[in-house]
Amino acid sequence: MNRHHGTTDSHSHLRRRSGISKLIRTLSVVALALAFAFTTAVSSAAPANGPAFVPNEVLVQYRAGTSEAQQNAARGRVNGQRAEVIRERLELAKLPAGANVQAAIAALQSDPAVEFAEPNWIYTHSATSDDPYYTNGSLWGMYGDELTVSTSVAPNQYGSQAEEAWAADHTGSKSVYVGVIDEGIQYTHPDLDGNIWVNPFDPADGVDNDRNGYVDDIRGWDFANGDNSIYDGGRKGTADKHGTHVAGTIGAEGGNGIGVVGVNWNVTMISGKFLGRFGGTTANAIKAVNYFTDLKTLHGLNIVATNNSWGGGGYSQGLLDAITRGAQQNILFIAAAGNSEANNDETASYPSNYNTTEGAGYDAVIAVAAIDSSGRLASFSNYGATTVDLGAPGVGVPSTLPVDTYGSYSGTSMAAPHVTGGAALYASTHAGASAADIRAAILGSTVPTASLAGKTVTGGRLNVGGY
């Protein structure tokens, strides 16, 4: 399970935190002559081979109508302390050092005031670098069946067909917004800077002018560090590579004569940074998802989707509830299927296996597998005839990297943003389309692909050519 999402290979460390040794295990998987380094954080509190969670923390959802005294009594069963209120009646509680998290959850669940209690799972992103610098002509994921915009490169039927949409002058719109829930983004990158949100509702004056709970969230928010700097890689680009790469696939600037181009030449991306150097947590993932839902409801921003190229934890009712609230506001949740070669029908992969149908009346989650430039299912990619919706380019994908550079990564992390880019592109040409409409368009326009038959819901690959 924990191979599911790794990081770039710079994350292989042993680290000690809060007295708990964090074992970070590196597995090498050889595929296409690339070494995929999957790194995994496992706390000593985690069950053997189970997903990792933060020791001494639990998420607790209290039932509607419960009093403060009832909540305190429930928390008192496990000698817990309220650390943070995430959402109404949903809190992050601290347990005493050394507490058995699973036992505490059982005790909390038995209290009538508690709707559910669950671990604060740890997520990590997934990406594998094969070539540190962008090589011209390799952006196959944007190609289509015919030569259209580009004349210097060969067509590739297994690309997303974005070129064909561009040929029809469909290159996206800055009035379409996308949330990037990931690491941060080097927002000053010359191929991204024009497509990153600048918050008009909360100027940098030390005041939370729009009262969304985040002071000066100018380009989004860093939930990992609790600050408004969404890029923390400095002048050497030591962090936020993965988020910057994902952003470039969704919306690196096109037609500017430099670097790469995203599915959208124009789009507005907002950072929901929650993955730090050692991953992220359920608590912060929930806050990031809620952030975009709240931005949409508070300001009417046309946020059509969030991209979620991460995973690794177990099931979280709190996170599903947050995704469902987003779904109710017409925000798609587009997720990487995972990189553990696993069948997600048999072993659920989160968040890609979530389904919002029960709470929102449709499923806002789109799970994405990775294919290579020959149309094969990527050797690392998860799949699932009922749980993974489609395939998209995810092997040897060049995109933006800090600082002001480019590089090629592989992973379902790279496939998902092609689909998210497709959602934004579709929204730009179909004003008023609901999230369910966009989802239906994406799944309905896939091209049947042998490697995806029986391994995905659609049996096909992304095709944005007609958007």
Q: Which is nearer to Ca ion, 256 or 386 (CB)?
A: 256
Nearer to Ca ion, 72 or 136 (CB): 136
Non-local (6+) Cβ contacts of 420 within 8 A are 178, 250, 305, 306, 307, 332, 334
Residue 370: CB minimum distance to Ca ion, A: 23
State in angstroms the smallest separation of the CB of 124 from Ca ion: 18
Nearer to Ca ion, 276 or 311 (CB): 276
Cβ neighbours of residue 96 under 8 Å, at least 6 residues apart?
56, 79, 80
Tell me the two tokens of residue 426: 């579709």
CB of 181 to Ca ion, least distance (A): 15
418 is an active site residue? no
Active-site position among 125, 173, 182, 294: 182
The whole-angstrom separation of Cα 62 and Cα 87 is: 11
Q: Which is nearer to Ca ion, 271 or 352 (CB)?
A: 271
In the complex, minimum distance from the CB of residue 183 to Ca ion, in angstroms, rounded to a whole number: 10
Nearer to Ca ion, 185 or 414 (CB): 185
311 vs 404: CA distance, rounded Å: 27
Q: Which is nearer to Ca ion, 10 or 256 (CB)?
A: 256
Of 126, 309, 408, 413, which residue is the catalytic one?
Answer: 413
Binding site residues, Ca ion, CB under 5 A = 191, 202, 205, 207-210, 212, 214, 216-217, 222, 225, 227, 229, 232, 253, 256, 259, 261
Burial bucket for residue 381 (CB in 10 Å: 0-12, 13-18, 19+): buried
**Smallest separation (angstroms) from Ca ion to the CB of 199:** 7
Q: How far is the CB of 130 from Ca ion (least distance, A)?
A: 21
- Compare residues 18 and 256 and give the one whose CB is closer to Ca ion: 256
- 413 belongs to the catalytic site: yes
Angle, CA of 351, 355 and 359, to the nearest 5°:
125
Least distance between Ca ion and beta carbon 427 (Å): 21
Q: Which one is catalytic: 242, 363, 381, 428?
A: 242
Q: Are strands 172-182 and 303-308 parallel, antiparallel or unpaired?
A: parallel
182 carries an active-site annotation = yes
Nearest distance from residue 425's CB to Ca ion, in Å? Answer: 16
Q: Which is nearer to Ca ion, 203 or 444 (CB)?
A: 203
Cite the active site residues. 182, 242, 413
